[in-house]
């Protein structure tokens, strides 16, 4: 049993709900492997409560925090500064609390996703035609991340009822990165199929595939053969969409666990200034995910 001391530093996850989070296990294992007297606790913060929570972190001398749904955008007004990536994306998933109490916001989600693609299949979006499915928080980070990495084009596809969200996200990315050709579409638009047919990377960033019986986000037949496909979902580790792309279209397929791992590793570096033991973090995730995949 881990003993806390008077010197134990505390890092928190702020979200609602947080019970499902794997970050306490992953970060706890990393702190222990690094010999750091640090703990990571998941704190449920109701919608509307993030300002009080952030003031509490500062007052209580926390070392840092992660931020998850529904607070990634709402937390921004309570921070003292944002790094350039978080500023562009307009969302924060990591907070560094400096010695003088200044709170700096970062977004490590995009770095996590693209580091997973690089490590697992050697893919980088530079010069590539990228299709993002979904226009929520993960899609936003991954769309900006693709443009930051000089993707040639970016097509953001969302279900029809929320087409405006895909257009709004495409407009935001296009404003910051005019050299990347961006478009927002509903996935039943005629042009959507052509965009998918020309893709070199498809990023699946909706929750589809988490529940048994979920429909596929797009038909597998639309997916070009042999391209890179990334699915942000990590429970299950490999969704039906990802497996369909891999088995029927011979795609190089990467699931969401690597993104979770690498966004966590990047956050660890921000808080501690040290490199975490990635194998230890991955082992903690794998052990926690095993029952979900059984």
Q: Can you give the binding site for ligand NAP, defined by CB under 6 A?
A: 69, 109, 112, 134-139, 158-159, 161-162, 165, 205-208, 210, 232-234, 256, 259-260, 263
Question: What is the DSSP secondary-structure string of 248-267?
Answer: HH--EEE-THHHHHHHHHHH
> Which residue's Cβ has the minimum distance to ligand NAP?
136
**Residue closer to ligand NAP (CB basis): 47 or 178:** 47
User: Taking the complex as a whole, how short is the minimal distance between the CB of residue 169 and ligand NAP, in angstroms?
Assistant: 9
Distance (Å, rounded) from C-alpha 72 to C-alpha 93? 6
CB of 96 to ligand NAP, least distance (A): 19
For the bound state, the minimum distance from the C-beta of residue 24 to ligand NAP, rounded and expressed in Å, comes to: 15
Considering the complex, state which of residue 17 and residue 61 has its C-beta at the smaller distance from ligand NAP: 17
Question: What is the edge-to-edge ordering of all strands in the sheet holding 153-158?
Answer: 181-186, 153-158, 129-133, 201-204, 228-231, 252-254
Nearer to ligand NAP, 56 or 207 (CB): 207
Residue 26: C-alpha distances to residues 22, 31, 138, 199, 244 (Å):
6, 9, 20, 33, 29
CA geometry: angle 292, 224, 260, nearest 5 deg = 30
For residue 155, the Cα-to-chain-centroid distance in whole angstroms is 18
Structural tokens at position 114: 């693209």
Residues with catalytic roles = 72
Comparison of 108 and 272: residue with beta carbon closer to ligand NAP: 108
């Amino acid at each position: 049993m881990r003993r806390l001391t008077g010197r134990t530093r505390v890092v928190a996850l702020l979200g609602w709900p947080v019970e499902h989070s794997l970050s306490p296990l992953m970060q706890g294992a990393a702190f222990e492997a690094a010999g750091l007297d640090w703990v990571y606790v998941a704190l449920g913060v109701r919608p509307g409560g993030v300002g009080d929570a952030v003031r509490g972190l500062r007052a209580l001398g926390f070392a840092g925090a992660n931020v998850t749904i529904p607070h990634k955008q709402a937390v921004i007004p309570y921070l003292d500064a944002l790094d350039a990536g978080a500023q562009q994306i307009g969302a924060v998933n990591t907070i560094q609390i400096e010695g003088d109490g200044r709170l700096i916001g970062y977004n490590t989600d995009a770095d996590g996703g693209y580091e997973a693609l690089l490590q697992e299949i050697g893919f980088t979006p530079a010069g590539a035609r990228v299709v993002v499915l979904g226009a929520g928080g993960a899609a936003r980070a991954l769309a900006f991340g693709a443009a930051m990495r000089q993707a040639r084009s970016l097509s953001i596809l969302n279900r029809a009822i929320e087409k405006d969200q895909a257009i709004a996200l495409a407009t935001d990315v296009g404003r910051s990165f005019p050299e990347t050709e961006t478009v927002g579409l509903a996935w039943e638009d005629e042009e959507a199929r052509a965009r998918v047919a020309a893709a070199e990377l498809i990023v699946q960033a909706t929750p589809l595939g988490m529940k048994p019986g979920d429909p596929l986000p797009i038909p597998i037949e639309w997916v070009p053969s042999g391209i890179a496909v990334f699915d942000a979902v990590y429970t299950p580790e490999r969704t039906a969409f990802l497996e369909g792309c891999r088995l029927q279209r011979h795609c190089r397929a990467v699931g969401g666990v690597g993104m979770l791992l690498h966004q966590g590793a990047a956050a660890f570096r921000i808080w501690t200034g040290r490199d975490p033991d990635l194998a230890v973090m991955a082992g903690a995730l794998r052990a926690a995910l095993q029952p979900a995949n059984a």
